[in-house]
Structure 1
Amino acid sequence: MPVVIVTGASSGIGRATAIRLGRAGYTVVLAARRTDKLEAVAAEIGTAVAVPTDVRDPAAIEALVARALEVDGRIDGLVNNAGIGGDSSILADDDVVTQMIDVNLVAPIRLMRAVVPIMREQGAGSIVNIGSVAGEIGLGGTYSATKFALRGMNDSVRRELIGTGIGVTLIEPGFIDTGFNNRKNLPGPEIVAAAIESALRRPRRRTVVPLKYRAAIVAATAMPFLADRLYAGRAARKPRP
């Protein structure tokens, strides 16, 4: 069975992805900080391997990849899903900014750096990076910055690995009901999980989910002045002392 690492697997998109992949016959290596929730997901899948991991720790990333390699001597897929948000203003505290950069950008780079040599030797593999529509339309302060940067890294790595048998896909969700969003009538994380499974099987440059956000991305790119008007001041509306 193909072996796939999924980070941020204890809840939300990561959990939905792990369960979907497990049911589809993948051996899923689950990574997240919350051991109890991680083990609960592993128990639900039945064939998964839970590896408590803080992706901010380089040693923990090395241990995660080593454990995944032990399963069957190969790593067929990596889903860089772990991510955090936070204060969207430029006035955000330094620890908030640093943590977002470490989790949303540095960790995926380290994980790709760890698995690419293994996949090169195999001559095959698939990497899926979870970006965001906020990585196309600047609105979320440092969060947007990390997702813009991840998009650039994804493009660069994809081009670097052309011809190696390794696919690199960026998936950019819009607003998704992951249990932390107070918006109503949002699609659930299963829509993103489906896109991830599809990308693992057939890599592509980029997938935006739901599809309706493509129009917003095109509009913001073609008419940035309109985006400026629509989103003016929105990131700075959080009350401050």
Structure 2
Amino acid sequence: MKSIIVTGASSGIGRATAEAFLEQGWKVGLIARRGDRLAEIAAKNPAAIPLPVDVTDASGMQAAFDKFLDMTGRLDALFNNAGSFGPSASIDEVDLDDFDNVLNVNVRGMFIAAQLAFRQMREQSPQGGRIINNGSLSAHSPRDSSICYTTSKHAITGMTRSLSLDGRPHDIACGQIDIGNARTELVDDLNARALADDPNANLMPMMDVGDAARLVLHMAELPPEANVQFMTVMATKMPYIGRG
């Protein structure tokens, strides 16, 4: 049975992805802060292993990985997904603590997960595995008032490139999926903020979160000699391409 750890697995893209892997017979480690939500997933499938921990807690993450590996003996993939959007504001209105909090989750947290996965994949026999980072369309084309989130996602693109290069000698592949407007709690919250500012605002077009989850599964199930380096999937009518 193949094994994967999914961070941010309690809701949104992470939960949908975890459930997609479970349906295909993978052993899935579920990492998130909200243990009650992880327990809900595990109650429906014995192949789900709840690992409640904050991704920014390095020692806690080490313990979570150790617990998972004690049960599986191997890590075939990591979906590095946990993230936070932070404040919607221009840079002069952003509190430095809020900026630090976003980078702490979106960069430090993803670094910790990738480091632990890379180390395990390098040391296990047979060597190798796959790391899939959740980037964002913001890594290419930001929405307004997203300085904290956009900065963090540009960092993740750099992380993906570095991991891909450093992983080659060890059969560790790394790819990135940039997802635009899947219906999640985060996007629903952004729509709610827009409506609070303007009750007549045009809400963002959205796609089903399950469509994004199936693409992560596709990336993970490729043979070792193939890798999706970067993939973009988004709601069809998003204004990503074109001019205003």
Report the TM-score when normalising by structure 2: 0.84
Deviation per CA, 1:23-46: give whole Å up to 9, x if none. 101000001001111111111233
Change (3 A) 1:53 1:77: same
Aligned twin of 1:208: 232
- Quote the Cα distance in structure 2 between the aligned partners of 1:208 and 1:156: 19
Aligned twin of 1:124: 128
| Aligned residue pair count | 220
Which residues of 2 match residues 69-148 of structure 1 at below 5 A?
69-88=69-88, 89-90=90-91, 91-122=93-124, 123-139=127-143, 140-148=146-154
Change (3 A) 1:145 1:46: same
Aligned twin of 2:199: none
Deviation per CA, 1:56-104: give whole Å up to 9, x if none. 1111111111112111211111111100112132121122111110111
Change (3 A) 1:86 1:206: same
**Mapped pair 1:176 → 2:182:** yes
* Secondary structure, aligned partner of 1:142: helix
Change (3 A) 1:197 1:98: same
Percent identity over paired residues: 32
Cα deviation for residue 184 of structure 1 reads 5.8
- Quote the Cα distance in structure 1 between the aligned partners of 2:68 and 2:2: 11
Unaligned runs of 5+ in 1: 220-225, 231-241
**Mapped pair 1:192 → 2:194:** no
Cα deviation for residue 212 of structure 1 reads 4.7
CA RMSD, Structure 1 to Structure 2 (Å):
1.9
Aligned twin of 1:54: 54
Report the TM-score when normalising by structure 1: 0.85
Q: Check conservation: 2:205, 2:238, Cα contact below 8 A.
A: no
Aligned twin of 2:197: none
